Amino acid sequence: MPDQPDAQFPPKILFPHLSTTTATASSSSSQQDPPSTSNDDTLPAGATKLPNGMTKLPSGVILDKDGKPCRLCTSAASWRALTKQAKTAPPATTTSTTMTNDCPPDVETLGRSTWTFLHSLTASYPVHATPEQQTEMRTFLGIFSRLYPCWVCADDFRTWMAEPSGTNEPRVAGRAEFGDWMCRAHNEVNRKLGKKEFDCRFWEERWRTGWKDGRC
């Protein structure tokens, strides 16, 4: 499932449903049974079978439904450990930094970039959207929630939007309600990751107009 001003707002937050050790990878809502550690001999020792068919290893690595490591569902640290590249870091140099930035994104990098895109999308949305624009946005969100590279995150986002009461259905009549809806979706991820929630009253300053103190 941002840079905030001083102590009033949370740090730039992540979309991913996982972190290296603390975030729980789950595609289910609170109404579903939590994943449990399986004693199945086909699973690695200590592995947790997730409801969506994926598997979380004790190291934090996520295996897809075919039993293969999912790089975009796994943190960079866990992935390096998996590939036996977690060695004593050499002194920081320009070259090593460039190499790190050139690596495929992990779940956290992917999440940061995705939330930047999604919030920017709401910021550019029409003040009053036409029926056609509303249909297009609902279609986009449905496709996005199925094609997002981190499958665990995508499953969780779909589950949240499909909450039976209809409370979490996309609100796309206009920019104000769409921006607030996206902020609530982001905060849902924040809660699951143990992050401080962003005050949604200020979403437009953060993502469209800039802060009133002139820092932007």
What is the arithmetic mean of pLDDT over 89-103? 55
DSSP label of 5 = S
DSSP annotation string for 29-62:
-TTSPPPEE---TTSPTT-EE-TTS-EE-TTSPE
**Whether 44 contacts 56, CB under 8 Å:** no
- The answer, yes or no, to whether residue 31 has pLDDT greater than 50, is no
For the chain, domains (ranges, CATH) are 105-209 (1.20.120.310)
Rounded-to-5 percentages of helix, strand, coil across the chain: 40, 5, 55
pLDDT: is 174 or 28 the higher one?
Answer: 174
Three state DSSP letters for 60-122: CCEECCCCCECHHHCCHHHHHHHCCCCCCCCCCCHHHHHHHHCCCCCHHHHHHHHHHHHHHHH
184-200 tens-digit pLDDT? 999 999 999 899 999 99
- What is the pLDDT of the chain when averaged over all its residues? 78
Backbone angles phi, psi at 159, to 5 degrees: -60, -40
- The answer, yes or no, to whether residue 154 has pLDDT greater than 70, is yes
- The answer, yes or no, to whether residue 8 has pLDDT greater than 80, is no
